[in-house]
Amino acid sequence: MVYRFLRGINEIYGVTVLFVFIALFFIALAFTVIYPLVPIVLMISSIFLVVFVRLVYLGLKAAELMLARESLGMGNCPACSTKCDALRVGERRVLECPRCRRGYQESGELYVPQEVPEDEGKPATFERAGETA
């Protein structure tokens, strides 16, 4: 539950911060003629606000990955708490949830398969971990 909450916040965090900064820009623009001290204060404080926003993002991302690694270490999906299947994708080990069909790397990041142009005509090579062919 906490993982899903942090994941949702991380997904909308960047866009939300962007709109906040755009709103601050328009506030500064409106106060340029009325009261020039407001734009000056907003310009100076925005430099420090960018650093603060970045640190908050890194903290949220670290907490999300920590919860995901903890859940994956027990063999469960961080999002729905179902037992995960271990797959070998190339040299990597990917944990896939059979219920919600999400894939996770061992680091806790979501696994997003990347298409390489030279692999376009080749079939995919997924193997269940622990099985021998």
Three-class SS of residue 88?
strand
Q: Write down the mean pLDDT value for the chain.
A: 85
pLDDT digits (tens, 9 = 90+) for 92-117: 788 888 888 888 888 888 887 776 66
DSSP string covering 108-120: SPBP-----GGGT
Q: What distance in Å separates the CA atoms of residue 13 and residue 81, rounded to the nearest whole number? A: 25
Residue 37 has pLDDT above 70, yes or no: yes
> What is residue 118's predicted lDDT score, i.e. its pLDDT?
62
Cα–Cα distance for residue pair 57/15, rounded to 1 Å: 12
Q: What local confidence, expressed as pLDDT, does residue 95 receive?
A: 86
Query: Which percentage of the chain shows pLDDT scores above 90?
Result: 41
Strand pairing of 85-89 and 92-96? antiparallel
- Specify the pTM: 0.72
Position with higher pLDDT, 111 vs 65:
65
Distance, CA of 76 to CA of 108 (rounded, Å)? 12
Query: What six digits make up the tokens of 44?
Result: 């100076």
56/64 Cα distance (integer angstroms)? 12
Nearest to 95 by CA among 122, 62, 72: 72
> For residue 119, what pLDDT is reported?
59
